[in-house]
Amino acid sequence: MSLLEVRDITMRFGGLTAVDGVTFDLHQGEILAVIGPNGAGTTTLFNAITGVYQPTQGSVKFRGAEVRRSPDLKLAVRTAVVGILGAISTFMALNAQEIWTAAIDANYLLDKPFPWHKALADAWATARAAPLVWGIIPAMVGGVLGAATVLALWQRLRRTPDLIARAGLARTFQNIRLFTDLSLIENVLVGMDSRLRCGYWTNVLRLPAFSRERSRSTAEAMELLAFVGLADRAHAAAGSLPYGHRRRLEIARALASNPTVLLLDEPAAGMNPSEVTSLMQLIQRVRERGVTVILIEHHMKLVMGISDRIVVLQYGRKIGEGTPQEIQADRRCIEAYLGAEDEL
């Protein structure tokens, strides 16, 4: 069974069909390149796979299943709680003054013990005596709030990027998106977030678990920075890096989550030939770590040099798939992208 099954993915933006029924498989441990002329829909395909866009049609299965949150009892309970609390608090808000006066002001005398039971009983009695219309409005508000919660939680059931990242698909971006004001190591640690377990109060109180996790995660982050060759600048701001190094930092950040699949969006864009060569070595070493790689790339030397298989897109459609040799021999692919020979 293949690791990632992309089935019939279609992305429409209004009248424009950016990706049209693309289907391919990704196998464990391979390097798959997706190529196509600019505007062929490669990045849109990536965005659809990683959950940035919701595909208009089609499915992406990772290890045989779609990555989604499943609707469960919690959803129903939360909806009910929000609805009921909304109704109650609206009712209280509408009658706050009367209830307060009856329960607190009427019962409280300075320096006398406060009769809590009587106050509660009075509050209840006042609430019961409220006109019916004060009951209808809260019920409506509660209903609306409950419905809104269902909608909001339903949205959470979609394939969101954070869910997909946590499932093991990490990515880089075509227009590098680093956290430029954070240091290199912090960038990598953000990438590692899904593997960190310390909660809010553990962090505030600096419980022992915090120090343990901090030393472990810092060591791992330094190891990753060394892996991409940036360890010596670990505490510099990411924004201070030169262009080629930013690409490497993005890769380190993506690797920090221990992904199964790494999606690289034009990793060689804007690099000079020697940087491309070292990038190729880096991608090979990423594969040796046991990470499966999909990459979008226009740099043919890189694509033909390292990929096991190639998928070719044109105008959003897949027009070819195969090994680099097969693609180089495929007439349609050559015409679409590699450049047709002149037939004068």
Partner 1 sequence: MRPRMNPILIFFAVAAALPMFFGATGLFYDAFQSIFVFALVGLGLNIITGFTGMLNLGMAAFMAIGAYAFAILTCDIYPFQVGFWSGLLLSGFIGALAGFLIGAPTLGLSGDYLAIVTMGFGEITLDVLKNLEAITKGTQGINPLPRPTIGGWTIELQDERSWYYLLLLILGVAVLFVRRLERSRTGRAWLSIREDALASQCMGIPPKRTRMIAFATGSAVAAVGGALFAALLSSTGEPNSYDFQVSILVLCIIIVGGMGSVAGTLVGAAVMVGMNAIVLVKLADLFGSREQGASSNVLASPNNWKFLIFGLALILVVRVKPEGLVPPRLEGESGAQPPAPPKSQSGAAAQGAGA
Distance between CA 265 and CA 261 in Å, rounded? 13
Q: State yes or no: residue 270 binds partner 1 (CB under 8 A).
A: no
The amino acid occupying position 143 is: G
Nearest to 30 by CA among 292, 210, 318, 236: 292
Task: Give 56 or 107: the residue with its C-beta nearer to partner 1.
Answer: 107
Instruction: Rule CB under 8 A: say whether 228 interacts with partner 1.
Output: yes
Q: Which of 14, 70, 274, 339 binds partner 1 (CB under 8 A)?
A: 274
For partner 1, the closer CB: 8 or 162: 162
Burial (CB < 10 A; 0-12, 13-18, 19+), residue 111, is exposed
CB of 244 to partner 1, least distance (A): 7
Helix, strand, or coil here: 109?
Answer: coil
- Per CB under 8 A, does 278 bind partner 1? yes
Can you tell me the distance from the alpha carbon of 205 to that of 75, in angstroms, rounded to the nearest whole number? 32
Residues numbered 231 to 250 that lie near partner 1 (CB under 8 A) are 231-237, 244-245, 248
Interface residue with partner 1, options 275, 287, 308, 322 (CB under 8 A): 275
How near is the Cβ of 279 to partner 1 at its closest, in Å? 8
* H-type alpha helices, 192-299: 200-205, 208-227, 243-255, 273-288
| Site size for partner 1 (CB under 8 A) | 69
Cβ within 8 Å of residue 104, ≥6 positions away: 119
- Residue 154 sits in the site that holds partner 1 (CB under 8 A): no
Footprint (CB under 8 A) of partner 1, residues 171-200: 171, 173, 177-183, 185-186, 189-191, 193-194, 196, 198, 200
117 belongs to the binding site for partner 1 (CB under 8 A): no
Report the residue from 16, 54, 81, 108 that binds partner 1 according to the rule CB under 8 A: 108
Residue 209 CA: distances (Å) to CA of 143, 256, 269, 287: 43, 20, 41, 32
* Residues counted in the chain: 344
R_g over Cα of the chain: 28
Which of the 8 DSSP states describes residue 286?
H
Owner of token pair 């330094």? 222
Q: How many CB atoms lie under 10 A from the CB of residue 274?
A: 9
Q: Which positions from 42 to 71 touch partner 1 by CB under 8 A, shown as an x/- string?
A: --------x-x-------------------
Question: Which is closer to partner 1, CB of 17 or CB of 107?
Answer: 107
φ, ψ of residue 21 to 5 degrees: the values are 60, 45
Residue 245: CB minimum distance to partner 1, A? 7
Whole-angstrom distance, CA of residue 122 vs CA of residue 318: 73
Find the shortest distance in angstroms from Cβ 189 to partner 1.
Answer: 6
Q: Which residues bind partner 1 (CB under 8 A)?
A: 50, 52, 96-97, 100-101, 104-105, 107-108, 110, 114, 119, 148, 160-162, 165-166, 170-171, 173, 177-183, 185-186, 189-191, 193-194, 196, 198, 200, 203-204, 206, 210, 214, 226, 228-237, 244-245, 248, 253-254, 257, 272, 274-275, 277-279, 281-282
